Chain A
Amino acid sequence: MGVEGIGARVTRKEDKRFVTGKGKYVDDVRVHGMTYAHFVRSPHAHAKVKGIDISEAMKKTGVVAVLTGKEIVEDKIGNLICGWMIHSKDGSPMKMGAWPAMAPETVRFVGQAVAVVIGETRNQARDGADAVIVDYEELPAAASIKAAIAPGAPQLHPEAPGNVVYDWAIGDEKATSDAFAKAAHKVSFELTNNRLVPNAMEPRAAIAEYDEAEEHFTLHTTSQNPHVARLVLSAFYGVAQEHKLRVIAPDVGGGFGSKIFIYPEEMVALWASKKVNRPVKWTSDRTEAFLTDAHGRDHVSKAEMAFDANHKMLGLRVKTHANFGAYMSLFSSSVPTYLYATLLSGQYNIPAIYAEVMGVYTNTTPVDAYRGAGRPEASYLLERLIETAARQFKIDPAELRRKNFITSFPHQTPVIMAYDTGDFNASLDAALKEIDYAGFPARKAKAKSEGKLRGIGLSCYIEACGIAPSKAVGSLGAGVGLWESAEVRVNPVGTIEILTGSHSHGQGHETTFAQVVADRLGISINQVSIVHGDTDKVQFGMGTYGSRSGAVGISAIVKAMEKMEAKAKKIAAHHLEASEQDIVIENGEFKVTGTDKAMALANVALSAYTAHNLPDGMEPGLKESAFYDPSNFTFPAGSYICEVEVDAGTGKTTFINFVAADDFGRLINPMIVEGQVHGGIAQGIGQALLEGAVYDDSGQLVTASYMDYAMPRADDLPSFKLQHTTTLCPGNPLGIKGCGEAGAIGSSAAVINAITDAIGNNKLEMPATPDRVWHAIQARA
């Protein structure tokens, strides 16, 4: 692998600028003549906008303009889109209400923008916004799934009667009913998957510039996928033409999915920059982030599983209600359907599955993909159900899982997914060994003798990553292809630039992508630069989410490298008077195999650009590009085991041990992979113990700041013990499966299973706050 090649623990190239404060984020961008935007937001969860009086605001010092939804409509700016069509059971397309960037008539969640004030300074824009008088007529709100589907509930959108966006199903209903009819044992369970606020460290921001002479826009924005942003802003919103819009996503401080979407604020900043013919900057504050960044999760589900007399699974039936909030965000429709229900087979051989999902509008912030997106919900449901079954059957939860593991591949599940490879016993074995599972009963007994409640919990997850084969997702309703692009530019002196459509916002691509190139050519990663995040530099790309940058983004790079290497070999063979089949690449040189004849990469590159002596008919230059479209999803999987102690007096959970054994296929940089797993587990533990967005009945977000929304901190978390077991993904050149979301997907069920084991009461919802755990202990007693 070499010291910097594939598999090496190389420290991150990008960290020098991050740890020395030299990163360049959107809010660091300052341009001449810049103005500032401040949004006027609804304090009501549901209200008619009867009128907006901007006269006082316009008199305020430094106010440049006040723009409202009326102008958005007049300028024929498009409504926000949802890019994945889902059809209900009855074949009807999902029922969506319009989402204008600024509400001209009706507001449907607290924080929805109704107007924007452009000011000379940030404070002056805010002064102006404070002076805008909005005449609201309050309407009754439906702030939860339960409230929204109740008879006589307030209606959010006339297009969606009963607030139902879709009533969708997957699997074979009859086969599943038959399985339950012949079952020897049945287990059923109801649970909530709590709503989360993404809380990227860097809040969203935009700075939009309009060049009147060129009729050209430039938008710096906090995006995980700048090309998608450009496409949506031009093709759907009509703010600018695609070839007249440059979108730059520079250093971005975390996304977790929340920066996939193209939000009203970024669009309004772009539109306003032309209206006022000045650059417009908007930076979200933390309260705005709580109120307007797309939230995650928020399911209420009922699940039942049928087993035969030998505890082999026969069938799974799931009914889920998913809360979409007030509007359908960009990928929201796909999250509780194709990213959720297709994973309900987990690691298990389940002959029949039937899952119904009802998507519901509520007067809350829109909900969309958040780290794991649907897969954590599936994993949590399934792994709690199996743990419940093991307790009901009084058999070892590891053994119940093992008995039902899929052991031969490929495996077609009853819910679309075809698992290509895996070894679920290997990861379970590794985790059981690391945590000393066999020694647990003795540890529990010892803890009990000291008056302490100790528990252990398992979670064996699988996820579908490497999103995604374009034809497959197209057939399921996706509005885009999910391939990735790459371009390899070898400069005349042999340094290399890799242009990628992936986007790094914490993942360390500048290091790992360079390692792949360094590994292939036998050069230093310092000879390789990774260029990303600018639509003027990279031709097109689909961005980073769904653990796709390794499996899809790197595969595109490999494909482009292969093309470049083939040409370079021809050049070297020509100079070395050898056959190109005999050329091998080692240590930065093109060598004739079995001889000492060699030509350095730099000389090959120089030759390509001087073009003085190239093979007949060869074009000059050494630059190749590729588009890579995966043939299947990838299926990272693993076993997480958590051991906890619960303080019976306070209900507080303390971690004794946390083990994660993952199969991610090929690891490019194990250190970075471990960092991804650590962060993912932190978010999974956050969901399990601490985090939860809470609305009151009127639709006010109770947890709108860090005083009430508990983010995990270092001292809330144990030291994680990580193991890797490896089966290479057969679907891509390096065998990569992806690692970005696993921690968030696998960990929460392990934590709750451990707590419920410790306290002897299985009825416990997330976040398992000390208050809830204490009450569960009392309920048991």
Chain B
Amino acid sequence: MYETTYHRPSSVDEAAALSARDAEAKYLAGGHTLIPVMKQRLASPTAVIDIGRIPALIGVEVSGDMLTIKAATTYFDIMNSADVKKSIPAIAHLTSVLGDPQVRARGTIGGSIANNDPAADFPAAVLALGATVKTNKRSIAANDFFKGLFTTALNDGELITAISFPVPAKAGYSKMRHPASRFALTGVFVAQMKNGDVRVAATGASQNGVMRVPGIETALKANWSASALENVKISPNGLIADIHGSAEYRANLIKVMAQRALG
């Protein structure tokens, strides 16, 4: 790791001001992505701005049909939140299969979606539920937020403050864990919204990062059951192929994980 300067702002405005002063500074939340690449000397930010202890960025709120998880809330706190378990238990389940206890104790929802790792779990929930990503500048719909591998709609210095999830009628998440990293080899989040819409998102599968799965959405909208997916064909085109899984295998996993996500 190269020398860097560490900042611990106490407010979002202070964090944004620090970022605005230094184009080479990086926000630091759980640090699971940034710290390893800094140790490998692949990243050398002039400063790290630790947003993990800003009170306004931590916590869970439920208001009507909306669950809001603030950006620096850890997976562990999300997993154990009574509000999350009650309103969208699929999100609590997702955090319970995310990483290991050490990862859950440090990692944050905001860090996960800002990084947009193609095998991260949370982008699937955000996209499937049609959540809204709130930043210190604006609100961004999930459909517009994820822009491909490690790429999002965020501008330089823009900071996620919270993610608001509409509470669905039904939802579930199922994941095949990567044998080495324990990220999602493929994970599928299924949601039936209260207006009857069905949204399904897969992570770990596509070369372009998290994606909707229209074939499964159509089938589930007609019949919310595992058997409805038996004859759905998922194309392997555009899916990731590596030593841990071929594109055909991942295509199969999208269907199988969707079936299992139905519970």
Contact = CB atoms under 8 A, between A and B. Distances in A.
A710 B252 contact: no
A484 B189 CA distance: 61
Interface stretch (A446-454, A507-515, A592-600, A766-774): A766-774
Given A649-B256, A694-B243, A775-B246, A706 B176 contact: no
B181 A707 contact: yes
Contacts of A771: 244-246, 249
A1 to B, nearest CB: 41
B64 interface: no
B253 interface: yes
A706 B181 CA distance: 7
Contacts of A287: 40
Contact of B41 (A130, A706, A710, A774): A130
B181 A770 contact: no
A251 B180 CA distance: 29
Contacts of A710: 179-180
B249 A775 contact: yes
A635 to B, nearest CB: 35
A708 interface: yes
B180 A650 contact: no
Contacts of B243: 692, 694, 702-703, 708
A769 B179 contact: yes
A708 B252 CA distance: 21
B249 A708 contact: no
Nearest to A703: B243
Interface string B238-257: 00000111101100110010
Contact of A690 (B41, B179, B248, B252): B179
A650 B181 contact: no
Contact of B180 (A123, A651, A709, A775): A709
A774 B179 contact: no
Nearest to A705: B180
B181 A708 contact: yes
B204 to A, nearest CB: 13
Contacts of A703: 180, 243
Contacts of B185: 770
B117 to A, nearest CB: 11
A123 B41 CA distance: 11
Contacts of A707: 180-181
A342 to B, nearest CB: 33
Nearest to A696: B243
Contacts of A769: 179, 244-245
A383 B180 CA distance: 28
A575 interface: no
B149 to A, nearest CB: 15
A60 interface: no
B256 A770 contact: no
A650 B244 CA distance: 12
Interface string A635-674: 0000000000000011110000000000000000000000
A648 to B, nearest CB: 9
B247 to A, nearest CB: 11
Contacts of B176: 650, 652, 770
A650 B248 CA distance: 12
A127 to B, nearest CB: 8
B13 to A, nearest CB: 34
| Interface core residue of B41, B248, B249, B259 (most chain A CB under 10 Å) | B249
Contacts of A692: 243
B233 to A, nearest CB: 14
B34 to A, nearest CB: 15
Contacts of A694: 243
Interface string B164-184: 000000000000100111000
A650 B245 contact: no
B252 to A, nearest CB: 7
A774 B244 contact: no
B97 to A, nearest CB: 12
Interface in A686-701: 689-690, 692, 694
Contacts of B246: 771, 775
Interface in A364-383: none
Nearest to B245: A771
A15 B185 CA distance: 38
A649 B40 CA distance: 38
A313 to B, nearest CB: 37
A170 to B, nearest CB: 34
Given A694-B243, A708-B243, A769-B244, A774 B252 contact: yes
A692 B179 CA distance: 12
Contacts of A652: 176
Contacts of A775: 246, 248-249
Contacts of B248: 775
Contacts of B253: 650
Nearest to B183: A707
Nearest to A707: B181
Nearest to A651: B249
Nearest to B39: A285
A651 B246 CA distance: 13
A690 B245 CA distance: 13
Contacts of A690: 179-180
Given A650-B256, A694-B243, A706 B249 contact: no
A352 B147 CA distance: 64
Contacts of A711: 180
Interface string A749-781: 000000000000000000001110011000000
Interface in A171-211: none
A358 B252 CA distance: 40
A262 B13 CA distance: 57
B245 A708 contact: no
Contacts of A702: 243
A452 to B, nearest CB: 14
Nearest to A716: B179
A703 B181 CA distance: 11
Given A694-B243, A771-B245, A775-B246, A706 B180 contact: yes
A709 B242 CA distance: 13
Contacts of A689: 179
A40 to B, nearest CB: 14
Contacts of A708: 180-181, 243-244
A774 B180 contact: no
Nearest to B3: A123
| Interface core residue of A126, A692, A707 (most chain B CB under 10 Å) | A707
A709 B181 CA distance: 8
Interface string A284-297: 00010000000000
Contacts of B245: 769-771
Nearest to B246: A771
Given A650-B253, A708-B243, A770 B179 contact: yes
Contacts of B181: 706-708
A689 B244 CA distance: 12
A78 to B, nearest CB: 34
Nearest to B249: A771
A710 B256 CA distance: 23
A710 B181 CA distance: 7
Contacts of B252: 649, 774
A493 to B, nearest CB: 49
A123 B2 CA distance: 8
Nearest to B119: A707
A630 B176 CA distance: 51
Contacts of B256: 649-650
A166 B249 CA distance: 40
A14 to B, nearest CB: 27
A296 to B, nearest CB: 18
Given A126-B41, A708-B243, A771-B249, 7 more contacts: A130-B41, A649-B252, A650-B176, A650-B253, A711-B180, A774-B249, A775-B246
13 contacts: A287-B40, A649-B259, A694-B243, A706-B180, A707-B180, A708-B243, A708-B244, A710-B179, A769-B245, A770-B176, A770-B185, A771-B249, A774-B249
Q: What are the 4 A-B residue pairs with the smallest beta carbon separation, nearest first?
A: A710-B180, A710-B179, A649-B256, A771-B245
